[in-house]
Amino acid sequence: MKINKKKIWWGVLLATIIVAFFVYRYVDDRRIFAKLDQGGVVDYPVSARQYEAYIKDLDARYKNDRYGSTTPEGTLSLFVEALKNEDVDLAAKYFVSEKQVKMVEDLKAGVKSGGVKSLIGDLSKKKIKSILSDYRVRFETVDSNNNLEFSFDLRLNKFTDKWKIESL
């Protein structure tokens, strides 16, 4: 039986192109996921497939997320404790999953600038709690004249029943 080298060469080339295509899609998806996690904005349209893959990945992260407390106040306490210990990696894990990567960077900068100490002070003040829905809560701090100083929202991770910081 004679082996046709030309057919083998074309087969290898075709297989290489197919593998390269799937590797490119995977790497491109990861790049888009990272951009969406950094603030939800990408500089070009995302395909329906890429968006669906991102949502699937995000759901998996939420299902596996064990950080936080079963109460909003508990999550804030854990967050403040991590900040006091300057453990920004742990502190960032108390945020909603899509903000965790960016919060590591922001909190590191805050430790260097002293802003984290100010944040700890704000989070340690007496808070007014507003229930926005069954799964969202807002806390506000006010000064001595009852002027709003600071507000922050927490959201319930419905997969794990842990409260996560949504915004500060």
Q: What is the DSSP letter of 46?
A: P
pTM over 0.85: no
Helix (H) or strand (E) holding 42: none
Distances (CA, A) of 67 to 9, 132, 151: 52, 22, 22
| Contact assessment for residue 85 and residue 78, using Cβ atoms and an 8 Å cutoff | no
pLDDT of 7: 75
pLDDT of 36: 61
Give bridge partners of residue 130 from the DSSP assignment: 138
pLDDT of 131: 87
Give tens-digit pLDDT for 29-84. Answer: 666 666 666 555 554 556 777 778 878 888 898 999 999 999 999 999 999 999 99
Q: How far apart are the first and last CA of the chain?
A: 72
* pLDDT average, residue stretch 140-147: 82
User: If you classify domain 64-167 with CATH, what class do you get?
Assistant: alpha beta
* pLDDT average, residue stretch 99-125: 89
Strand arrangement, sheet containing 136-142: 128-133, 136-142, 148-157, 162-167
Radius of gyration, alpha carbons of the chain: 23
Rounded CA gap, 98 and 122, in Å? 24
What are the structural domain ranges in the chain?
5-33+43-63, 64-167
**Residue 67 — φ and ψ, nearest 5°?**
-90, 140
